[in-house]
Amino acid sequence: MELISLAILGLLIVISPGADFVLVLKNSLNHGRSAGIWTAIGISLAITIHITYSLLGISYLISQNEMLFNAIRYAGAAYLIYLGVKGIFFSDNKTDLQGDTAPSKSGKHFLAQGFLCNALNPKTMLFFLSVFSQVVSTNASDNHVALLYGAYMIAMHFLWFSLVAILFTSKALQTRLLNMKKLLNQLCGAGLVTFGTVLALKS
């Protein structure tokens, strides 16, 4: 597969709506722009994990071991459902939205959320397995293309999700989102629960 095609494929995967997008949106709306960006950093760091085991061939072994693969799948599903339930039942009625103010919790908290959300997603693992099979060389010393592609994917995840955090905490959207905060929280929560449930039930 040509590198340009791989680059376009990677971009489409990054911007397609999924659990990562919903989590960044939820954290940005509730805790401010900084929280959303910390979540984006966590997601980007998780990509390094996927890249590492793809280069080492571990992802192939995981995908061939049904028990281990299912353990990762259920752990990821449980975490998404947990985050979703929190969003549905613990949404507040406050009518203020956070802009670029400091988050109410430590940045490490949101970084960990983003990291776990992405790292425990077996769909991401299988994507990197399929893509890196196109760029990984059998000669370990000749994997500069794979490393460059990995760096590209890390950068795309960070830039896209940081952009999401910035856009949804911008002044232009504040008034439109002001009276929808609780509903948006509940929709984000329902989305995470749905992603988690589908992940758990998918054979």
Q: CA nearest 127: which of 147, 111, 150?
A: 150
pTM for this prediction: 0.79
What radius of gyration, in Å, describes the C-alpha atoms of the chain? 18
15, 163 Cβ separation under 8 angstroms? no
Q: How many domains does the chain have?
A: 1
Q: What is the per-residue pLDDT across 1-31, written as a single tens digit (0 to 9) for each?
A: 567 777 887 888 888 888 999 999 999 988 8
The boundaries of the domain holding residue 26 are: 3-201
User: What pLDDT does 133 receive?
Assistant: 64
Q: Cα separations (Å) of 179 from 86, 149, 154, 184? A: 20, 42, 35, 10
Q: What is the per-residue pLDDT across 42-96, written as a single tens digit (0 to 9) for each?
A: 999 999 999 888 888 776 777 778 888 788 888 888 888 988 888 788 765 554 5
pLDDT > 90 in the chain, percent: 26
**pLDDT confidence of 39, banded at 50, 70, 90?**
very high
